Amino acid sequence: MSDYPSRVYIAEMGARDGLQNEPLVGTQAKISLINALSQSGLTHIEAGAFVSPKRVPQMADSARVFQHIERKTGVTYSALTPNIQGYNDAMAVNAEQVSIFTSASEGFCQSNIHCSISESLERFIPVMEQAKLDGIKVRGYLSCVIDCPYDGATSPQQVAHIAKKLFDLGCYEISLGDTIGTGTPIRIGRMLDAVLNVIPRHQVAVHFHNTWGQALVNVHQALTMGISTVDSSVAGLGGCPYAPGASGNVATEDVLYLCQGLGIETGVDLEVVTKAGWDICREINKAPQSNVSLALSAQTKKSR
């Protein structure tokens, strides 16, 4: 039986996880996107990443983005910071929260972060210590919680084991990423069951990519298990480096519409988010990867 939460919190990934997997976008367009999203009722917007500009040129202007967005009271603007240098850069432009990331699979960790999982966790210790001193909350991302492009299936026990390590480091929330989007509801359910044995439900978030078209049903699966924080990207921005042409995160518009239909409060205005999505999609010359967005667009044209 289902155990839906009464309220769902969206962690908006479009400006970071989304745009880091799209062709380069101008700084002003990013700022406009974040400003527009800030007006929608969203309370958490990941606005950039302080990572190597050589490896991720799409995020090279994150400092300027943080400096020029109009911050709205009640919205947390977070940054991805893989190490203490990134953390310091994020603090220099007043990021309000940071995120760290590792993988539940060794193969992905080696290819993506170039170290073992336990080495990656060790690297985060200085970030965690400094964040504690600064009173900054840290979110932990865990990649490849279902499958890894190198190692194959990830066991739910392994996911729970690494998630608990991130949690014990001091992360206030663990975001479980189906990075390559191969999950289906039964496997998502088993993975969440294992994690919920070791981490309180309200500190678990889900982060599903839509590569195989399963992200929304997987979000629904998580909702039936009482998960109340969902990562999503406006217009489904983003992609998957392991599946060229594939869509990115589950679209925020689709999650909002699903929650509306289930009677779950989000506090987010679907129309405002959808319009922000149309604007950024025009900028990158791409159709929104969201059925809800496309349907609303058709409706708007018809009523004109």
Q: Which residue is nearest to Zn ion (CB)?
A: 17
Copy the structure tokens of residue 252.
């925020």
Report the C-alpha gap between 22 and 175 in whole angstroms: 22
- The size of the interface with Zn ion (CB under 5 A), counted in residues, is 1
| Distance in Å, CB of 263 to Zn ion, minimum | 28
| Distance in Å, CB of 229 to Zn ion, minimum | 14
| Distance in Å, CB of 288 to Zn ion, minimum | 17
Span interacting with Zn ion, options 14-22, 69-77, 92-100, 239-247, rule CB under 5 A: 14-22
* Residue numbers 140-169 binding Zn ion by CB under 5 A: none
**Pick 17 or 61: Cβ nearer Zn ion:** 17
3-state SS assignment for residue 263: coil
**Pick 23 or 241: Cβ nearer Zn ion:** 241
**Pick 11 or 296: Cβ nearer Zn ion:** 11
Span interacting with Zn ion, options 10-18, 63-71, 157-165, 269-277, rule CB under 5 A: 10-18
238, amino acid identity: G
Q: Does the protein bind Zn ion through residue 106 (CB under 5 A)? A: no
**Pick 17 or 46: Cβ nearer Zn ion:** 17
- Is 17 in contact with 275 (CB distance < 8 Å)? no
Q: Does the protein bind Zn ion through residue 178 (CB under 5 A)? A: no
Q: Does the protein bind Zn ion through residue 17 (CB under 5 A)? A: yes
Copy the structure tokens of residue 297.
């667009």
Copy the structure tokens of residue 286.
């791409």
**Pick 21 or 40: Cβ nearer Zn ion:** 21
Q: Which amino acids are annotated catalytic?
A: 240
| Distance in Å, CB of 273 to Zn ion, minimum | 18
How far is Cα of residue 62 from the mean position of the Cα atoms in its chain? 16
Neighbour-count burial of 237, counting CB atoms closer than 10 A to its CB (0-12 exposed, 13-18 middle, 19+ buried): buried
Q: Does the protein bind Zn ion through residue 61 (CB under 5 A)? A: no
Q: Where are the alpha helices (DSSP H) in the chain?
A: 27-38, 62-68, 84-92, 106-113, 117-134, 156-169, 185-196, 215-224, 252-262, 270-284, 291-303
Copy the structure tokens of residue 272.
């405002």
Binding site for Zn ion (CB under 5 A): 17
